[in-house]
Amino acid sequence: MVLNTWFLDHFYNLDTIIRIGWLALIFAPFNKISKYCIILPTLLFSIECILMLLFRDLPVLNWISLKDLLMTIIVQRKQFYLMDLWIAQWMVYNFYAGCGKTASCGSYHINKTWTSERYVFTILLFLTYLAAPLGLVLYIVGKHSFLKEYQKNVQNVIKNDHFHIDQLKHPFSIPHTVRFADRLPESLSSIYYFLLGIIGLTILFTIVLPSYIGLIIYCRIVYKYSSSSLSDLKTIPESVRNVTAEMRLTLIKTDRNQRRLIWHLKYLLLQFATIFEYASNYSEPFRLFQSLEEYFRKIYHTPYFVLGNGIAVNSYDIVKRYIQDLPPRKDAELLAWEISPSLETFCDFTTVFLSTDHPDTQLGRKIIFQWLHSFPHNLKHRNFEMELQLSRIVPRHMDKKPTKDLVYQAIGEVMFFLATNGELTKSERLAYISCVQSPFIFFPNWFNFLLNGHHFERKNLRNYYTLLRAFLRYENGLALQAAFMAAEKKKSREEVLKFITVVFCVAGSPAPAKLAVTVIDRLWADKEKNVPLFKKNPHNFIKECARLDKAVPTVNILATDEIVSEVEKSFESKIQIPENTPIHCSIVNANRDKTVFENPDEFLPDRLDLNKILVWNGVEEDIINPDQSKRPIRYCPGHDLSLDIVQYVAERFSPVTDDIDEDNTNNKNEQDLIVFEQKIRKLTPIEESHCWNVLDTYTKVVRLLMTIVINESNLFPSRAIDIAPPMHLPIKNFSIFRIDMAKFIPSWDEDKPNGSRPLRRFARWLVNSNIWDFYDCLAGFDTLEQALAWRSQIFPSLPLPNIVYTDMFSDEAMGRLAFFGCACHYTQRIDKSEHPSLQNAVYVNDMTVLSIFRVRKPFERYGAAAYFDGDFQLIAIYWCHANRLVRKDDQFWEHAKYVWRSSFFAYVTIHDHLIVTHMIECNALVTATRKYLTNGHPLRLFLQPFTYHTVSVNYQAAISLVNRRGLVHRVWAFDYDEFLKVCDYISMTYKFRLLPEYIPSSMSPENNSKTKEQWDKVYPIYSDLNHFWKGIHKYVENFFHITFNVQDDDKLPVDARMTEFINELCKQLGIPGIVSLKRFIDVLAHLIVSGTGMHEHVGQISDYVIDPRFIGAKLEEGKEIQNIQTYTQILILTVVTGVRMPGLLEDWSHLIERNQYYEKNLVNYENFKNELKNLSQDIDHRNKTRKYPFESFNPKFIECSASV
């Protein structure tokens, strides 16, 4: 105790520790230790305070003494010193913000040289130490003046390197001025809107909300009429609803010339009340309109009522007449209030609903019709390419209802693809989702002012410009050219583009996207009843959903003389309303009108009166009239398109039912999987709980955290258009580190410069913590059905297999696996069998290598070799663990087959997939590329798609999968040290060989006395791999001939960077040297095929795990089915490794450098893509005549770089 006191007195001084933090921050702001030097004093101070609270002598524990104690702590000067230190820390982060802090290792990729500005900043830091307020003020002033330029320069390095297609600056894409502050410099504009936000929120909370509360109290006091006969509306009290309606009626009746300040104040308050009432009934607005109508019928005996700033009506007949029969008149208004200036001015030549007879509006309708009719794609006539792209955009989800955002994204991407034949980038997809979710741009100016100073409205407007830029990329496409033509030079290209964008954002986003969600909700709510109804007539199903839906609750027009007199007459001339008063036609109520629809509140897609619905701005039966001249004057031009898109997306997201024949998918694979899934029953809660309790904590945690990966990959799917050009950074070290298996991998990825999202990083940290137990639980499933139900229910996001195996047990199936499976490149011909008793063996698939490695107890060793006769039939298996040759009549026959399947799966996954493809070949390519080729080097740009995300993929695999106590360690039965020996063995025996040589020479058609056609039917990898290789090789070869203008393939281009690049490749791949261009092209083509086609061949593991009897990651004596824990772990591995990269057939032409070789390189690129498409179709065709399908090298399944 005495020693402790002495130590504290002499060595512990918090002030000194704080000063050390300051020194570290000023002179080593980027050092990791500096971070701890700042955290440490805070931590110590916290401990001091806690100890003070706990151990201080308190004679009487009462409020007074406690307050004194707290005050003692609060007024301590140390905490002010600490606050100063954190302020300085913020200044450092702020000053160097955007400089590419890496997520993986905590270092910074910034310019660390001591420039004059950095000296100034350091002096400011020192001033902050002396007097924090002064230093902070000086820094803020400096940031907006002399330090600004420096910060801009540092950040420009990153911005320029990040320069991407969605950042294209074009005069059209610069946001227009809505308010005067938009003209100010960005920093001043930000300050203005920040202050405006504070003012807006202050007014909202101090004036508007109290006034509204006052209004509610007033309504309750003055309301006399009360009737239980009125509809009950729990969200808004009857008194408030009706009194405010009366007040609105009074305001509307007021002559325009007599509207004074009080009128306007009342108007704003009542508008606020309208928005509030509408928001409270957002899910079912028809109830609000119905209750208001009932009140006005009681009091005024009229079908009209007051809503927002005008008169509203629910009656079907009147709504139909106003929006369809009478000449339309319209203004910039929506729902029950005027729209925001951002929306009003974004496209000012026509209103958003195309509804008046003004020449501009008529021209707008013409433009839209021309645009729609010139779409390059039509869902009714799908070709191969389109089917392919759509299936990537909207992957089939059959086991789990998709989230709303996923449906929104699918609708936006499909619509954009149909319109442009292009893709939306990540930021554009997010902008679209935001347009669907966020309605603020539809609200009036004053209301948006209250919401944080127009913050949300401005965000909406930015989204519009983001999507405008997306269309701008395709301005030379068919559809936009047709739209420009339709404008007849009366409108500029900019105006037309804005108009198309606003149609896409307003008409094309919320309505169809939300309708699709409604349709999908219904399909999943009662799939046995609703899916057959949907399949019977998808359009009728969607229309019936639309009838009961709220996507477009009201359509409004302006009152003409005729309408004014009708309304006044209906009110028995008790009121007079001005011309052009807004008339809100309630679509949601008209579609539930009992006088038109039988049982209107019931969902009946077969109803006879369905085509009377008013959804697309007209009666449906008139809109679908073949005679176009008889269609309603203002019907929605996107009527057919929205129905088709919603149908397509709903089909892709619909659940599996027993009804298979009519399932709308052209993908044989999906059909097979659906048939497979249909046989699976539901898991009972007891079974689920039993299986779950069997799992070790690690597996449970990883299973839960897996959902983070899946949700992220669903919401941010990889698209080729998101592949950014290379970054230029001073990369001398991109955090290469050595992993246990003696490989050196980089950890910082320019494709993901900020690393993973925080939640994912946290999940990874949690998973890799050493707190989880490690044991092999052998408990098995009670029945096979239970195992399948477990897989289906707990892993609904299992990647779609390329081949759906229904049989992996029969002897014949073994022949299929040996000649069509993922280890078929190891099958070879044997002329002389080493087993005297196997004289009829012609082929062998030898997977005995793994038998030399020890496994954990009580598991069996891996290793087996399968022998086949000349008819490719299995005749015997050599089983390593028992060291015996097993034949058909042997009691271990089934077990030996299971061991062989499991052995080739383990060997291919560890050897081919993990070590050779990822850790050696892909790693060599990406490391050499990024280390030695500058961002302007043509080869770097050329290789960019083939190395996309490779660094982060390998890094994640290294730290979360193949680490000690990681998933791979747990899934397979090797001890970790033994697993490392397996890896070492693979690395030592690795010998670089070109891909065509992967196929043993004995497996050529000639050596098997077969023609190429005959051989393709029984051993398809031979032709598919060669075709694929040739396609890639030709692409690489042409690139060199075009870009480097090399005629002689024996010589390498003279290029110092390339020489370094080649040296690095040789070093990593163990190649003695590359001295000719021909050899260099071969090596590059090989590495590209390795990360694309070969990766697909050896890495598509979902084919082998849909049934727990197919393969066993661990082998147990006498068992041919996986236990619960291992099966769950291998399923997790499958899901995690199933996260997709962009497709090889997607478009990355934006990466082709715009230099003098651009045209030729573009032709090369297009030829390459066409060859791949032809190969894909050819493989599809040949698969029909092959003994079994083989998809490993089918380009439609292949990604452009290796995924996990």
Question: Applying CB under 5 A, which residues contact Fe ion?
Answer: 1099
Instruction: State the residue for tokens 């960005």.
Output: 186
Nearer to Fe ion, 433 or 971 (CB): 971
Shortest separation between residue 1137's beta carbon and Fe ion, angstroms: 6
479, 375 contact by CB (below 8 A)? yes
For residues 663 and 1051, give the distance between their C-alpha atoms in angstroms, rounded to a whole number: 57
405 or 912: CB nearest Fe ion: 912
Residue recorded with tokens 């659906």? 674
Q: Least separation, in Å, of the C-beta of 727 and Fe ion?
A: 24
**CA atoms lying within 13 Å on the CB side of residue 390:** 25
Q: What is the dihedral of CA 84, 85, 88, 92, to 10 degrees?
A: -170
Write down the number of H helices and E strands in the chain: 49, 13
CB closer to Fe ion, 244 vs 954: 954
Q: Are 1025 and 829 in contact (CB under 8 A)?
A: no
Residue with Cβ nearer Fe ion (200 or 1099): 1099
Q: How far is the CB of 1189 from Fe ion (least distance, A)?
A: 22
Is residue 557 within a helix (H) or strand (E), and if so which, with residue range?
strand 554-558
Q: Give 908 or 1062: the residue with its C-beta nearer to Fe ion.
A: 908
The CB-of-788 to Fe ion minimum distance in angstroms stands at 26
Q: Is the Cβ–Cβ distance between 103 and 755 less than 8 Å?
A: yes
489 phi-psi bin (left φ>0, alpha ψ -120 to 50, beta other): left
| CB 1089 to Fe ion: min, Å | 14
Q: How far, in Å, CA of 553 to CA of 318, rounded?
A: 16
Shortest reach from residue 1091's CB to Fe ion, in Å: 9
Residue closer to Fe ion by CB (options 483, 1136) is 1136
Six-digit token string for 1042: 């075009």
Name the 3-class secondary structure at 968. Answer: helix
- In sequence order, the β-bridge partners of residue 884 are 879
Task: For residue 96, give the DSSP letter.
Answer: T
Buried b (16+ CB within 10 A) or exposed e, 790-816: bbbbbbebbbbbbbbbeebbeeebbbb
Calpha distance 1025→128 (Å, rounded): 66
Q: Which is nearer to Fe ion, 786 or 909 (CB)?
A: 909
HSE, side-chain direction, 13 A CA sphere, residue 791:
31
* Residue (281 or 1102) nearer to Fe ion, CB: 1102
Residue 638 or 1099 having the CB closest to Fe ion: 1099
Smallest distance from Fe ion to CB 912, Å:
10
Q: Between helices 1077-1089 and 1056-1069, what is the axis angle to 10°?
A: 60
| Segment (H or E) for 934 | none
Query: What is the distance of C-alpha 540 from the center of its chain?
Result: 31
Alpha helices for 795-892 (secondary structure H): 811-820
Contact 245, 267 (CB under 8 A): no
CA R_g for the chain: 35
Q: How far is the CB of 208 from Fe ion (least distance, A)?
A: 56
Distance spanning both ends of the chain, measured CA to CA = 56
Q: Which two tokens stand for residue 390?
A: 């759509």
**Is the separation of the CB atoms in 410 and 395 below 8 Å?**
no
Query: Residue 908 CB, nearest distance to Fe ion (Å)?
Result: 12
User: Which DSSP helix (H) or strand (E) runs through 870?
Assistant: none
Instruction: Compare residues 553 and 1099 and give the one whose CB is closer to Fe ion.
Output: 1099
395 or 1099: CB nearest Fe ion: 1099
CB of 15 to Fe ion, least distance (A): 54
Specify the residue, 538 or 1099, whose C-beta has the smaller distance to Fe ion.
1099
In the complex with Fe ion, the residue whose CB is nearer, 619 or 1141, is 1141
Q: What gap in Å lies between CA 1033 and CA 1087, rounded to an integer?
A: 10
Distance in Å, CB of 1095 to Fe ion, minimum: 6
Element (H, E) at 545: helix 538-548
Specify whether the CB–CB gap between 114 and 163 falls below 8 A: no
Question: For 271, left (φ over 0), alpha (ψ -120 to 50), or beta?
Answer: alpha
Between 472 and 961, whose beta carbon lies closer to Fe ion?
A: 961
Q: What's the min distance (Å) between Cβ of 1099 and Fe ion?
A: 4
Specify the residue, 444 or 1099, whose C-beta has the smaller distance to Fe ion: 1099
Shortest CB 1151 distance to Fe ion, Å: 22
* Least distance to Fe ion, CB of residue 1204, Å: 5
**Which residue number, 545 or 1131, has a Cβ lying nearer to Fe ion?**
1131
Shortest distance, position 954 Cβ to Fe ion, whole Å: 9
3-state secondary structure of 1135: helix
CB of 279 to Fe ion, least distance (A): 47
| CA count, 13 A, side-chain hemisphere, 315 | 13
| Of residues 1099 and 1112, the one with the C-beta less far from Fe ion | 1099
| CB of 753 or CB of 1099, closer to Fe ion | 1099
Select the residue whose beta carbon is closest to Fe ion and give its number.
1099
Phi, psi dihedrals of residue 176, rounded to the nearest 5°: -80, 170
Distance in Å, CB of 314 to Fe ion, minimum: 58
Among the listed residues 542, 536, 537, 483, the one whose alpha carbon sits nearest the alpha carbon of residue 511:
542
Residue 1103 CB, nearest approach to Fe ion (Å): 14
d(CA 414, CA 435): 16
User: Are β-strands 554-558 and 582-586 bridged in parallel, bridged antiparallel, or unpaired?
Assistant: antiparallel
Which is it for the CA torsion 523, 524, 529, 535, positive or negative? positive
E strands within 792-951? Answer: 827-829, 843-847, 864-868, 874-879, 884-887
Question: Of 418, 395, 638, which Cα lies nearest the Cα of 511?
Answer: 638
